[in-house]
Amino acid sequence: MNAAVQPRSFGDWLASARQAAQQPPVQPRQALVVAGQVVGSVAEGFLNKIGRQRLLDKRYKLSNNEHSGAAAWHLEVPFGASVDAITDALNTLAAALRDEGLCGPWRDEQLAVCNPVGEVVGTVERGAVRVLGITTRAVHLVGLAPDGRMWVQKRSMTKPNNPGLWDTLMGGMVSAADSLPQALARETWEEAGLHVETLVGLQHGGHVDFSRPSREGDGAGYMRERIDWFRAQVPEGMAPENQDGEVERFDLLPLGTVREQVAQGLFTLEAGLVIAGFLGL
């Protein structure tokens, strides 16, 4: 067989996937500062595209000034402002971006916004996090059958991201209202119809970090995300059943088949790297 058409090995896929997960921005970015604290970043000049009157009507000023020796965008909320005040300012900015068609799909879901030391200082609409370079958290569950096969899901074709690709048993965002255990429990029920307390040997397996450009905002987005993944056994006689309409179907596959399909690009990048972590690679 010609080498050009030989099946791609899992090792080759893994090397390129790790490189893809850690990519610099495609254009210069400037810090996004709210109430004197860096909470994200925006592409240079990006916020010039929005009408600022809406912000002024809410008494929030957006300016481009120096911060720590470099140009930065400042959403001016009084230093020491409450979480509610910062949240209102960020969501006003997010709405202005939405009105100009400059953010991702609007979800009516709030995600936590943290300062550089990890303290939650506010929340913002999920659709704006990539264009604002805000770090997000997600959770995945690797589910195994008693015989060692892996439960995987095929994402619905109506999903805004990676429709039709395969995924771990469960994968979802950690909302502002959830702790990590709460997100694990909620997403496991919504996506797979399983209660975490019925799973066997549930344990934290590790995490995967992403820093890479995003297509959102006409390519001005940047994804920064930590995915914590867990593993557990789904008891004999119990099968996942989707509850929220976001999963087309579930399959139970031998690990060798999972590796082959990941290498073929049939799984999301996030799921593939979680599976690699599960496999100890």
- Whichever domain contains 154, its CATH number is 3.90.79.10
DSSP letter (8 states) at residue 173: E
Last residue of a domain, one of 111, 128, 145: 128
Q: Is this model's pTM higher than 0.75 or not?
A: yes
34-91 pLDDT, tens digit per residue, is 988 999 999 998 998 887 666 767 778 888 889 989 999 999 887 778 999 999 999 9
Q: Do the bridges between strand 170-173 and strand 247-253 make them parallel or antiparallel, or are there none, so unpaired?
A: unpaired
- Examine the domain organization and report whether 169 and 229 are in the same domain: yes
- Examine the domain organization and report whether 123 and 187 are in the same domain: no
**Cα angle value 108/84/124 (rounded, 5°):** 30
Last residue of a domain, one of 128, 163, 181: 128
Q: Where are the beta strands (DSSP E) in the chain?
A: 29-34, 37-43, 61-67, 70-76, 110-114, 120-125, 136-144, 150-155, 166-168, 170-173, 200-214, 221-233, 247-253
- Examine the domain organization and report whether 163 and 89 are in the same domain: no
Last residue of a domain, one of 99, 128, 157: 128
- Examine the domain organization and report whether 143 and 271 are in the same domain: yes
- Whichever domain contains 37, its CATH number is 3.30.750.160
Q: Is residue 118 a part of any domain in this protein?
A: yes
The range of the structural domain enclosing residue 141 comes to 10-22+136-278
217-239 pLDDT, tens digit per residue, is 989 999 999 999 999 999 999 99
pLDDT, averaged across the chain: 92
What was the pLDDT predicted at 56? 67
Confidence band of 110 (pLDDT split at 50, 70, 90) = very high
115-162 pLDDT, tens digit per residue, is 999 899 999 999 999 999 999 999 999 999 999 999 999 999 998 888
Q: Rounded to an integer, what distance in angstroms lies between the CA atom of residue 33 and that of residue 90?
A: 11
Question: Which residues, 6+ apart, have CB-to-CB distance to 5 below 8 Å?
Answer: none
Of 53 and 108, which is predicted with more confidence? Answer: 108
Q: Given a cut of 70, is residue 197 above it in pLDDT?
A: yes
- Examine the domain organization and report whether 37 and 95 are in the same domain: yes
DSSP letter (8 states) at residue 197: G
How many folded domains does the chain comprise?
2
- Examine the domain organization and report whether 111 and 223 are in the same domain: no
Question: Which residues, 6+ apart, have CB-to-CB distance to 179 below 8 Å?
Answer: none
- Examine the domain organization and report whether 149 and 268 are in the same domain: yes
- Examine the domain organization and report whether 65 and 117 are in the same domain: yes
- Examine the domain organization and report whether 35 and 105 are in the same domain: yes
- Examine the domain organization and report whether 170 and 271 are in the same domain: yes
